Structure 1
């Protein structure tokens, strides 16, 4: 297994006041491995029940969208762009076990 951050570039971005989007950009040789990861595994790692997933094989990218825990800019909003969520994904183990 490898860490997602070693297989792909992961970034988050603002998707409006109610959603955060995380993009996972892969190389041609790693896209299949990352894309084989079930949506539920990503949701569990992010600690969310609702997660929309969009696979974009022509771009070798996967887009994950999730509702914000708080409305963007609210007093309780501590991560305006979801960077903490993207960072949480970079360390998750992806792919078959090696060895």
Structure 2
């Protein structure tokens, strides 16, 4: 039995795609492209994804997080400052391509 089935569904299970990328050298943006309006309603709910949740997942100041909900596209975008600027000596993910994983693995409660 897969981990997802044993523990319930995740955001990634409800999405067409969950991705992250640079939004310039100092910001990361993550996008959740949901399969349908039902999945979007779960993700867009401010009690599910909000600044405090993202702050806990990524260790960034909640006041610096921006969340954009786009119901006409079933998309939620989350942006925050990169902890290390792109291409700096300690940057381990220059394209910010792996930042989405903690968000994608969030469990959907009540499933």
TM-score normalized by the length of structure 1: 0.87
**Other structure's SS at 1:70 match:** coil
In the alignment, structure 2 segments of 5+ residues that lack a partner are 1-7
Aligned to 1:7: 14
Q: Equivalent of 1:79, from 51, 71, 93?
A: 93
1:59-98 correspondence to structure 2 within 5 Å:
59-94=73-108, 96-98=109-111
Q: Is 1:42–2:54 an aligned residue pair?
A: yes
User: How many correspondences in the alignment?
Assistant: 97
Deviating beyond 4 angstroms after TM superposition, the runs of 4 or more aligned structure 1 residues are none
Higher relative contact order (CA 8 A, sep 6+): 1
If each structure's strand is expressed as a fraction of its own residues, which one has the higher value?
A: 1
Q: Distance in 2 between matches of 1:23 and 1:38?
A: 12
Deviation of the 1:56 alpha carbon: 0.7
| Cross-structure match for 2:4 | none
Structure 1 spans left out of the alignment, 5+ residues: none
